């Protein structure tokens, strides 16, 4: 099986799951207490208006027809209109997406550059002080409520020490960088707007640290345990017996095989990163998808909730797809098997 078949098979496998997700979100929007038509026209509207709105929204059609229409709408890229601000949900999501992407990408990057060396180190120096310390940190990482951790960071570094700026993506006095991507760091680099760059970087430190902390802990332990599994294999002993330097054994021979299971775990726990991002964004008033979702949920703005959910699931599934592909690259047995 070559790479193209491998990837396309994975893509095809995504379709039924994605359909399932839409069925679930569709059904959920129908069990909400309250009439969507009533929500849309407001509490004071007359019954006649509500009736007309129900007709217009197709709420009187049989359920399967309604689902079919919903699906057609989705395929056109129309996620409906937000009840809260009467704007198309797609437009809201497009505005919010870059902020979330920037935050999660930077957090993931921090995780990877710290977790891989730390994981290797703790595997090679098993039961050394570093190993014990990371074990404790990892345990705390998976047990810490993200929202509480974010509040502590704000309390210490913003309120008490005043070292770092508080909520938001950029200082209010600094105009956001001009650019089309909506990623402040990239935009300010491209437009050489150093003031915006500095401000947005400083604003990113606390949320990114808050979010990466949990994930970092899981990742370090995963890399450690898969590294340990590999280091106990026969071919490593053979390499040692042949007198290869330890560094070559670890980096050239062990690491590549140890990365295969790690990559899977990174993908699987991507969901935790998304969950963490929702809470982090809420704490740091980060104008991304997570805080948008929380606002919509509290407002019972169901078109927005559904749109957000579908987008987040799509991102989650794409992340897992990327992981599968990376898996295929790292381990030829999977591609050819």
Partner 1 sequence: MCPGAAERSYGLREMSPWMKDFLFTIRLVYRNPLAMAGIVIITCLVLVAVFAPLLAPYSPIDISLDERLSPPSASHLLGTDEMGRDILSRVIYGARISIRIAVTVVTIGGAVGSILGATAGYLRGRMGSIIMRVMDMILAFPALVLCMVLAAALGPSLNNALLAIAFVQIPKYARLVHGQALSLREKHYVLAARSMAASTPWIIWHHIFPGCLSSVLVLATMGMGEAILLAASLSFIGLGAQPPEPEWGAMVAMGRQYLMDHWWLATFPGLAILVVAVGFNILGDALRDILDPRLRR
- To partner 1, the closest distance from the beta carbon of 17 in angstroms equals 5
Nearer Cβ to partner 1, position 3 or 152? 152
For residues 270 and 291, give the distance between their C-alpha atoms in angstroms, rounded to a whole number: 18
**Residue 28 binds partner 1 (CB under 8 A):** yes
Instruction: Read off the tokens for 88.
Output: 């198309």
Residue count at the site for partner 1 (CB under 8 A)? 47
Nearer Cβ to partner 1, position 28 or 65? 28
Nearer Cβ to partner 1, position 4 or 159? 159
- To partner 1, the closest distance from the beta carbon of 197 in angstroms equals 28
**Residue 225 binds partner 1 (CB under 8 A):** no
For the CA atoms of 94, 175, 204, 313, what is the dihedral angle to 10 degrees? 0
Stretch that binds partner 1, among 14-22, 36-44, 92-100, 329-337 (CB under 8 A): 14-22
**Residue 233 binds partner 1 (CB under 8 A):** no
- To partner 1, the closest distance from the beta carbon of 190 in angstroms equals 31
**Residue 17 binds partner 1 (CB under 8 A):** yes
- To partner 1, the closest distance from the beta carbon of 294 in angstroms equals 5
Phi, psi of 81 (to 5 degrees): -110, 135
- Cα distances (angstroms) measured from residue 35 to each of 47, 230, 244: 12, 58, 71
For residues 39 and 105, give the distance between their C-alpha atoms in angstroms, rounded to a whole number: 36
Both ends of the chain: CA-CA distance in Å? Answer: 8
Nearer Cβ to partner 1, position 21 or 189? 21
Stretch that binds partner 1, among 16-24, 76-84, 120-128, 187-195 (CB under 8 A): 16-24
**Residue 231 binds partner 1 (CB under 8 A):** no
Task: Give yes or no for a contact between 308 and 93, defined as CB atoms under 8 angstroms apart.
Answer: yes
**Residue 118 binds partner 1 (CB under 8 A):** no
Q: What count of Cα atoms within 13 Å lies in the side-chain half-sphere of residue 299?
A: 18
Instruction: Report the chain's C-alpha Rg in angstroms.
Output: 24
Q: Count of CB atoms within 10 A of residue 160's CB?
A: 9
**Residue 313 binds partner 1 (CB under 8 A):** yes
For residues 261 and 257, give the distance between their C-alpha atoms in angstroms, rounded to a whole number: 8
**Residue 63 binds partner 1 (CB under 8 A):** no
Q: In sequence order, what are the residues at sequence separation of 6 or more whose Cβ sits closer than 8 angstroms to the Cβ of residue 124?
A: 227, 231, 250
**Residue 279 binds partner 1 (CB under 8 A):** yes
Residues numbered 149 to 168 that lie near partner 1 (CB under 8 A) are 149, 151-152, 154-155, 159
- Give the closest residue to 269 by CA, choosing from 210, 320, 197, 200: 320
Q: Which residues bind partner 1 (CB under 8 A)?
A: 16-18, 20-21, 24-25, 28-29, 31-33, 139-140, 142-149, 151-152, 154-155, 159, 270-272, 274-275, 278-279, 282-283, 293-294, 297-298, 300, 305, 309, 312-313, 316-317
């Amino acid at each position: 099986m070559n790479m193209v078949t491998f990837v396309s098979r994975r893509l095809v496998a995504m379709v039924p799951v994605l359909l399932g997700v839409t069925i679930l979100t569709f059904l959920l929007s129908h069990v909400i207490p309250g009439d969507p038509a009533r929500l849309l026209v407001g509490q004071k509207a007359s019954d006649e208006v509500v009736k007309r709105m129900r007709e217009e929204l197709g709420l009187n059609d049989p359920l399967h027809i309604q689902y079919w229409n919903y699906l057609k709408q989705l395929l056109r890229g129309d996620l409906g209109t937000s009840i809260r601000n009467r704007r198309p949900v797609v437009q809201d999501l497009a505005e919010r997406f870059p902020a979330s992407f920037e935050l999660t990408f930077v957090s993931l990057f921090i995780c990877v550059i710290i977790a891989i060396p730390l994981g290797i180190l703790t595997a090679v120096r098993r039961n050394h002080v570093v190993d014990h310390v990371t074990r404790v940190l990892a345990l705390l990482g998976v047990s810490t409520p993200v929202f509480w951790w974010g509040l502590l960071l704000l309390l210490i570094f913003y309120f008490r020490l005043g070292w770092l700026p508080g909520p938001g993506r950029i200082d209010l006095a600094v105009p956001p960088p001009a650019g089309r991507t909506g990623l402040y760091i990239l935009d300010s680099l491209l437009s050489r707007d150093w003031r915006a760059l500095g401000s947005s970087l400083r604003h990113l430190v606390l949320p990114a640290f808050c979010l990466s902390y949990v994930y970092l802990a899981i990742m370090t332990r995963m890399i450690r345990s898969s590294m340990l599994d590999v280091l106990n294999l026969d071919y490593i002993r053979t390499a040692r017996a042949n007198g290869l330097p330890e560094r070559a054994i670890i980096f050239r021979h062990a690491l590549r095989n140890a990365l295969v299971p790690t990559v899977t775990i990174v993908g699987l726990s991507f969901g935790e990163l998304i969950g963490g991002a929702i809470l982090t964004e809420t704490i740091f008033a980060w104008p991304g998808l997570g805080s948008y979702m929380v606002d919509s949920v509290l407002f019972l703005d169901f078109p927005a909730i559904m749109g957000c959910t579908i987008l987040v699931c799509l991102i989650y599934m794409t992340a897992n797809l990327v992981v599968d592909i990376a898996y295929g690259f790292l381990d030829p047995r999977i591609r050819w098997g």
